[in-house]
């Protein structure tokens, strides 16, 4: 085939039920059943998209010209508190997602971790590991992402469940679309690396019965070479940071004598709270696509469609003591936007690939858009339409300990005291309480390890207008201590934390993580002891028990506000939170994620129409920082500003 002048369409197309063999020749060129093969992938994370929209998003990626779906699977999204795994709930049925890929004639690159990154809470690993002693050595160092016995035992449970319930029967030799399984992710960024770890992961998969090819996804072509890490047998080399460069694709082939590909080619970039805009690349990225396609490179757009960090799933970059949290939208500047529409770079990417690929790229139709409201279609909800419930009055700290412990420790403790069916994930609002041993004036409170986002209360009254936070940027400045005056005897101090997601990248960042409070809280040089604490994860069962009334908040304490939204036909919408402070929005029990108006740039939360009812819909807002309720307005678009 003449790669510069394609005259045929012989690039292999996946057909369900047919059996295929993926391979590469001595020059590192990809082949399917012995024929030249170029794959063009779009990354989608099923955990960030309602399952009712999976087929639509896959079709959007196919309409872009892609023939492959790449997907991360987040271990902590599927693990239950009892150690079992949920692959059957509608939004967690990954087998169904892969079957939809097959129906749409898409090859599948599966990225099951165990570590993923993906700007997801703790990079997809179970955050319980931060508190569970079995994952720490005698000096309390966290033992993950290496060949540590307890960690590898946990990984094997994850891989076994995934293989038996999802992968088995869906690989190429079984007539399914799964052509590659990724081993770990950007492993050399972890450091210090365990050179035997990737091979040990591959051995687990082989022992389970997997017979297809593997891949690793690394930032740099020389990463495994320079870190003296053996590439496992039958493993291709994927590039993330250097995935945009043809020369680095060729370097990887030369270093490892295997096929290479761009595992992550970025049409945009991560957006954090306090940043001004969401980055999107248009013409510059189209040029990259053209160069890669013309050179016959295989590559994946990361991300083809990003979706949303619903609930508590958004991760953070940096350490908890200098947190850089990711916004709720995971639009990412992807060609398919957060709500499934064409972004500004969709058509230029599609054209660039079709004009330069080594084969005639099929033209696939863009599916009909998911119905969305029009601006003004739904009347706003004013603050007079809410009923309210005070947060602190409904939460009783019950777990005692001499010093405060992290949210992960609290969840582990709570889960050990109740049936597994009622276990909780270590996220939500934590309350820490102690009686002050001193009274008087000019008392100073400091932390050995400041909370990433918290408020302080003395006898139920907020101590300072400042939020205690380690976040820095834009309008937000770090505040890591506070003073209190006129303290009566036997006063109760409460520290209430609304922590961000855990670090998703970096060895030091992840090893030292742990949200909420931990370590010493110091009052005028003396360590405060005898704490009680608890975790409130905003479960639907908890919210159903709250007493709501018409009395509006009169002081700056966290509160719940509830309203009923009546609509005729459920459609996608964005809920505008511009007149609120910081908190979470739940619609019919679905947590849409965090809002933080002052920090920006995001001020609207995506609400999928499939989570709405025809008729009555219950909206509950947990407002953390603001003393009064705002209003709610409803729009068709995110209003997220883009940095072109």
State whether 89 and 205 are in the same domain. Answer: yes
Domain stop point among 356, 372, 405: 356
pLDDT digits (tens, 9 = 90+) for 125-168: 999 999 999 999 999 999 999 999 999 999 999 999 999 999 99
State whether 221 and 315 are in the same domain. Answer: yes
- Percent of the chain scored above 70 by pLDDT? 98
Classify residue 377: in a domain, yes or no: no
Domain stop point among 536, 571, 594: 536
pLDDT at 322: 86
Residue 356: which region, alpha, beta or left (left: phi > 0; alpha: psi -120 to 50)?
alpha
Element (H, E) at 287: helix 283-294
State whether 111 and 229 are in the same domain. Answer: yes
Pairing mode of beta strands 526-527, 590-596: unpaired
Q: How confident is the model at residue 422 (pLDDT cuts 50, 70, 90)?
A: confident
Q: How confident is the model at residue 112 (pLDDT cuts 50, 70, 90)?
A: very high
pLDDT at 2: 43
Q: How confident is the model at residue 442 (pLDDT cuts 50, 70, 90)?
A: confident
For the cut 80, the answer to whether the pLDDT of residue 187 exceeds it is yes
Classify residue 344: in a domain, yes or no: yes
How does DSSP assign 39-50, residue by residue? Answer: -EEEEE-GGGS-
State whether 529 and 436 are in the same domain. Answer: yes
Classify residue 185: in a domain, yes or no: yes
What CATH code is carried by the domain that includes residue 559? 2.60.120.260
- Range 362-369 average pLDDT: 97
- Range 623-639 average pLDDT: 97
pLDDT at 6: 46
Give the bridge partners for 31, in sequence order: 23, 36
**CA 218 → CA 183, 188, 301, 561, distances in Å?**
10, 7, 15, 46
State whether 442 and 345 are in the same domain. Answer: no
Pairing mode of beta strands 324-325, 299-305: unpaired
Burial of 228 (0-12, 13-18, 19+ CB in 10 A): exposed
Quote the CA–CA distance of 65 and 362 in Å, as a whole number: 7
CA angle 576, 582, 583 (to 5 degrees): 85
Mean pLDDT, the chain, as a whole number? 96
pLDDT at 204: 98
Classify residue 342: in a domain, yes or no: yes
For the cut 50, the answer to whether the pLDDT of residue 3 exceeds it is no
Long-range contacts of 436-440, Cβ-Cβ distance < 8 Å, separation of 24 or more: 436/487, 436/490, 436/491, 436/492, 436/493, 436/523, 436/528, 437/523, 437/526, 437/528, 438/487, 438/523, 438/524, 438/526, 439/487, 439/488, 439/489, 439/490, 439/491, 440/487
State whether 258 and 178 are in the same domain. Answer: yes
For the cut 60, the answer to whether the pLDDT of residue 69 exceeds it is yes
Classify residue 376: in a domain, yes or no: no
Give the bridge partners for 70, in sequence order: 43, 109
State whether 415 and 518 are in the same domain. Answer: yes
Q: Which residues contact 561 (CB under 8 A, 6 or more apart)?
A: 383, 386, 387, 388, 620, 621, 623, 629
State the helix-helix crossing angle for 346-356 and 283-294, rounded to 10 degrees.
Answer: 20
Classify residue 244: in a domain, yes or no: yes
- Range 45-72 average pLDDT: 98
Q: So which residues are the catalytic ones?
A: 186, 264
Give the bridge partners for 563, in sequence order: 619
585 SS3 class = strand
Q: How confident is the model at residue 490 (pLDDT cuts 50, 70, 90)?
A: very high
- Range 4-30 average pLDDT: 86
The two structure tokens encoding residue 344? 């500004």
State whether 552 and 532 are in the same domain. Answer: no
The two structure tokens encoding residue 616? 């009555």
Residue 325: which region, alpha, beta or left (left: phi > 0; alpha: psi -120 to 50)?
beta
For the cut 50, the answer to whether the pLDDT of residue 106 exceeds it is yes
Quote the CA–CA distance of 285 and 280 in Å, as a whole number: 9
Pairing mode of beta strands 559-567, 399-401: unpaired
Tell me, yes or no, if the pTM score tops 0.75: yes
DSSP state of 62: H
Residue 251 phi, psi dihedral angles, 5° rounding = -60, -45
Classify residue 331: in a domain, yes or no: yes
State whether 188 and 308 are in the same domain. Answer: yes
Longest dimension (CA), the chain: 86
**CA 23 → CA 32, 38, 103, 228, 635, distances in Å?**
6, 12, 23, 25, 48
State whether 152 and 255 are in the same domain. Answer: yes
Lowest-confidence range among 36-40, 190-194, 278-282? 190-194
Q: How confident is the model at residue 43 (pLDDT cuts 50, 70, 90)?
A: very high
Q: How confident is the model at residue 8 (pLDDT cuts 50, 70, 90)?
A: low
Look at 203 and 83; give whichever has higher pLDDT. 203
Burial of 8 (0-12, 13-18, 19+ CB in 10 A): exposed
- Range 202-223 average pLDDT: 98
Number of helices (H), then strands (E), belonging to the chain: the values are 12, 34
State whether 550 and 596 are in the same domain. Answer: yes
- Range 63-67 average pLDDT: 98
pLDDT digits (tens, 9 = 90+) for 299-354: 999 999 999 999 999 999 988 788 899 999 999 999 999 999 999 999 999 999 99
CB 559 within 8 A of CB 553: yes
Q: How confident is the model at residue 191 (pLDDT cuts 50, 70, 90)?
A: confident
Classify residue 591: in a domain, yes or no: yes
Q: How many domains does the chain have?
A: 3
For the cut 60, the answer to whether the pLDDT of residue 417 exceeds it is yes
What CATH code is carried by the domain that includes residue 332? 3.20.20.80
Quote the CA–CA distance of 217 and 228 in Å, as a whole number: 16
Q: How confident is the model at residue 81 (pLDDT cuts 50, 70, 90)?
A: confident
CB 337 within 8 A of CB 343: yes
State whether 475 and 607 are in the same domain. Answer: no
Query: Given strand 387-390, what is the order of strands in its sheet?
Result: 387-390, 559-567, 615-623, 582-587, 590-596
Domain residues for the domain of 628 are: 383-389+546-635
Domain stop point among 484, 512, 536: 536
pLDDT digits (tens, 9 = 90+) for 239-270: 999 999 999 999 999 999 999 999 999 999 99
Burial of 105 (0-12, 13-18, 19+ CB in 10 A): middle
């Amino acid at each position: 085939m003449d790669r510069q002048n394609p005259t045929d369409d012989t690039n292999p197309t996946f057909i369900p039920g047919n059996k295929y063999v993926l391979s590469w020749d001595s020059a590192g060129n990809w082949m399917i059943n012995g024929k030249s093969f170029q794959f063009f992938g779009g990354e989608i994370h099923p955990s960030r998209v309602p399952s009712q929209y999976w087929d639509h998003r896959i079709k959007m990626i196919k309409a872009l010209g892609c023939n492959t779906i790449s997907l991360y699977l987040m271990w902590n999204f599927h693990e239950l508190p009892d150690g079992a795994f949920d692959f059957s709930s509608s939004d967690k049925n990954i087998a169904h997602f892969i079957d939809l890929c097959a129906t749409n004639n898409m090859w599948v690159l599966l990225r099951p971790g165990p570590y993923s990154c993906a700007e997801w809470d703790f990079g997809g690993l179970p955050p319980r590991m931060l508190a569970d002693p079995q994952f720490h050595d005698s000096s309390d160092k966290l033992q993950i992402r290496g060949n540590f016995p307890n960690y590898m035992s946990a990984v094997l449970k994850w891989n076994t469940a995934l293989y038996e319930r999802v992968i088995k029967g869906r690989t190429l030799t079984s007539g399914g679309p799964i052509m590659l399984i990724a081993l770990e992710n950007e492993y050399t960024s972890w450091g210090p690396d365990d050179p035997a770890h990737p091979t040990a992961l591959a051995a687990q998969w082989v022992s389970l019965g997997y017979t297809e090819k593997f891949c690793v996804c690394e930032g740099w072509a020389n990463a495994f070479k320079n870190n003296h890490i053996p590439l496992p047998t039958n493993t291709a080399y994927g590039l993330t940071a250097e995935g945009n460069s043809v020369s680095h694709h060729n370097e990887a082939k030369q270093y490892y004598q295997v096929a290479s590909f761009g595992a992550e080619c970025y049409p945009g970039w991560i957006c954090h709270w306090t940043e001004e805009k969401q980055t999107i690349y248009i013409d510059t990225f189209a040029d990259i696509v053209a160069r890669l396609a013309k050179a016959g490179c295989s590559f994946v757009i990361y991300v083809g469609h990003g979706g949303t960090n619903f609930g508590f799933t958004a991760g953070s970059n940096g350490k908890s003591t200098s947190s850089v949290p990711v916004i709720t939208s995971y639009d990412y500047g992807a060609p398919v936007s957060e709500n499934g529409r064409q972004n500004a770079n969709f058509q230029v990417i599609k054209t660039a690939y079709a004009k330069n690929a080594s084969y005639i790229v099929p033209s696939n139709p863009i599916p009909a858009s998911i119905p969305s409201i029009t601006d003004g279609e739904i009347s706003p909800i004013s603050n007079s339409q809410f009923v309210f419930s005070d947060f602190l009055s409904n939460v009783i700290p019950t777990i005692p300990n001499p010093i405060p412990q992290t949210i992960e420790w609290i969840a582990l403790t709570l889960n050990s005291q109740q049936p597994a069916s009622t276990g909780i994930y270590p996220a939500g609002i934590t309350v820490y309480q102690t009686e002050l041993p001193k009274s008087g004036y000019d008392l100073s409170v400091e932390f050995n390890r400041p909370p990433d986002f918290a408020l302080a209360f003395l006898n139920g009254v907020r101590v300072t207008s400042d939020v205690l936070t380690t976040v820095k940027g834009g309008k937000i400045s770090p505040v890591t201590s506070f003073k209190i005056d006129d303290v009566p005897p036997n006063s109760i101090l409460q520290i209430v934390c609304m922590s961000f997601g855990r670090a998703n990248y970096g060895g030091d960042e992840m090893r030292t993580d742990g949200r909420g409070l931990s370590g010493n809280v110091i009052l005028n040089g003396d360590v405060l002891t005898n704490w009680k604490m608890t975790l409130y994860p905003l479960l639907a069962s908890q919210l159903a028990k709250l007493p709501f009334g018409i009395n509006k908040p009169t002081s700056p304490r966290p509160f719940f506000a509830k309203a009923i939204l009546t609509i005729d036909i459920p459609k996608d919408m964005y809920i505008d939170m511009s007149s609120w402070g910081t908190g979470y929005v739940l619609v019919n029990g679905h947590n849409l994620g965090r809002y933080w108006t002052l920090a920006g740039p995001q001020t609207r939360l995506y609400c999928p129409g499939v989570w709405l009812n025809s008729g009555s819909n219950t909206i509950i807002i947990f407002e953390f920082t603001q003393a009064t309720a705002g209003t709610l307005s409803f729009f068709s678009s995110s209003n997220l500003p883009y940095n072109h």
